[in-house]
């Protein structure tokens, strides 16, 4: 070749900027005050999820107990049937009852009686 310029072909993915570089480039277009305000806004948005309160205990208590604080049998039966459908192992049911402070006894080979005191089951709320 005579005095020509040699150009090398680059891979397409090598030219594509990385996401962090894109963010930095975008932020550099703003003044320092604007960058600080943008970072604070994103920080506040991110903290909303961290600082939110977990109301699941109150919701479950409202669903499973009536206004007087007594257990709603239909709700408890539906919840247990949903968690342990027909054909579930009796050891799974017994393990769950024991984990919430109850006890189970085998009445007959096909029947098991379980009891959970509402005071023990509610101790976390």
pLDDT at residue 80, as a whole number: 87
pTM of the model: 0.47
Give kind and range of the element (H or E) at residue 104: strand 103-108
Residue 122 pLDDT > 50: no
Query: Hey, where are the domains in the chain?
Result: 12-51, 56-121
Q: Which two tokens stand for residue 60?
A: 């479950």
The neighbour count for residue 105, using CB atoms within 10 Å, is 10
- Over residues 70-89, mean pLDDT: 88
pLDDT, one tens digit per residue, over 6-48 is: 555 555 555 555 777 777 777 777 788 887 888 788 888 777 7
Average pLDDT along the chain = 77
pLDDT at residue 50, as a whole number: 63
């Amino acid at each position: 070749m005579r005095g020509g310029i040699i150009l090398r072909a680059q891979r397409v993915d090598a030219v594509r900027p990385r996401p962090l570089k894109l963010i930095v480039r975008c932020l550099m277009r703003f003044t320092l005050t604007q960058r600080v305000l943008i970072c604070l806004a994103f920080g506040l948005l991110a903290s909303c999820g961290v600082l939110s309160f977990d109301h699941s205990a109150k919701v479950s208590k409202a669903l499973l107990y009536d206004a007087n604080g007594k257990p709603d049998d239909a709700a408890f039966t539906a919840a247990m049937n949903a968690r342990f459908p027909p054909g579930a192992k009796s050891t799974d049911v017994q393990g769950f009852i024991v984990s919430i402070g109850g006890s189970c006894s085998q009445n007959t080979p096909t029947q098991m009686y379980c009891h959970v005191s509402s005071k023990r089951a509610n101790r976390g709320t």
